[in-house]
Amino acid sequence: MSRVLNDYPDVAPQTRARVLEAIRTAGFVPDRTARSLVTGRGQVIAVILETGRGHPDLLHPFFQEVLMGLRRSVSASAYDLLLLSAPGDGLVYERRIRHHRVDGVVLMGARGSDPGIAQILQTGVPCMAVDLNVRGPRAGSVSSDNVEGAAKAVRHLHGLGHRRIALIGGPPDTKPGADRRAGFRREVARLELDVRPGHERDGDFYPESGQAAMRALLDLPDPPTGVVAASDLMAAGAIQAAAARGLRVPDDVAVVGFDDIQLAELLRPSLTTIRQDKQGLGAAAANALLQLIADPEAEAPVVTLPVELIVRESSGVRPLE
């Protein structure tokens, strides 16, 4: 039996079939290898996290909390989580998925143009993406309401009297970057605010890009009085850049972030931000994926979670005089 369960090549096909049938009849599953051979499943959910060269993926607090929600939901099942790195060593995603007998995939951080995504979809393995537009017969997605979140940030600053409101956006080729920019523009247009030339700057969700974008905004002849940053880390960088110029936040320039990571409350001034349910994103992705694995006829969902404005010190609480 052990040679069958360990998939030795010198076992005759007829013998292998008889042993596996005996296992099925007796309901005997001594370990995960045996269970995989009997059911055809590896009891493994792969997580593919890729945010681009030079970025510390697992150190980003947003992804850490999403992974926590994912792990907690999966831990109640019989599945293990497997973190797959980017295929820089020549191995493609498809080969890795088949090698590890992966039953489902959670995608995070990738760009829609990543060729690895097409490889995953071609395997037919159920897939749920976090903050990524992925659609297919067995592929769905979960994200926060990024458009409304950015609109909430603009409305908040407008309600405090700001009329020159700028955006430090995320990468436009990412879903959160594009959606938050769309929400910013939608609300600015609805409020009939005039976005001055140079008042939209691109960042990469990390602090250094927030610093650079804020410095560029402050160099303008008509710098903004309020800034919406598409991530809390960029907002933190923006606040540092303002302080380096001798400016006070929020008295001289107000700042609103996006995410509500733990750092947001610890900053000085504490950060007004748009709160995402980050662990909820992970849980929603896991629950939908488990359903897709259990039911081959299930339709892959598109899930959108609500967001919340959290007002702290960086935006001020009183209208401008």
Q: What are the tens digits of pLDDT across the range 25-66?
A: 655 444 444 444 444 556 899 998 876 666 656 677 898 899
Residue range of the domain that includes 104: 41-144+279-304
Q: How many CA atoms lie within 13 A of 290 on its CB side?
A: 18
Of the candidates 310, 178, 300, the one whose C-alpha atom is nearest the C-alpha of residue 257 is 310
Cα gap 51→109, rounded to integer Å: 5
Domain membership of residue 29 (yes or no) is no
Same domain, 104 and 248: no
Same domain, 53 and 116: yes
Domain containing 261 — which CATH number? 3.40.50.2300
Predicted structure pTM score: 0.83
Does the pLDDT of residue 117 top 60, yes or no? Answer: yes
Lowest-pLDDT range of 63-72, 108-117, 176-185, 311-320: 108-117
Give the DSSP letter of residue 200: E
Residues 136, 138, 142, CA angle at the centre, nearest 5°? 80
- Token output for 107: 């995608």
Same domain, 265 and 152: yes
Same domain, 154 and 114: no
Domain membership of residue 27 (yes or no) is no
Range list of β-strands (E), the chain: 44-49, 80-84, 102-108, 127-130, 139-144, 165-169, 200-202, 226-229, 254-259, 272-275, 302-305, 308-310
Q: How many domains does the chain have?
A: 2
Same domain, 245 and 127: no
Domain membership of residue 224 (yes or no) is yes
Handedness of CA 268, 156, 161, 222 (dihedral sign): positive
Which has more pLDDT, 317 or 102?
Answer: 102
Cα gap 58→14, rounded to integer Å: 47
Same domain, 107 and 179: no
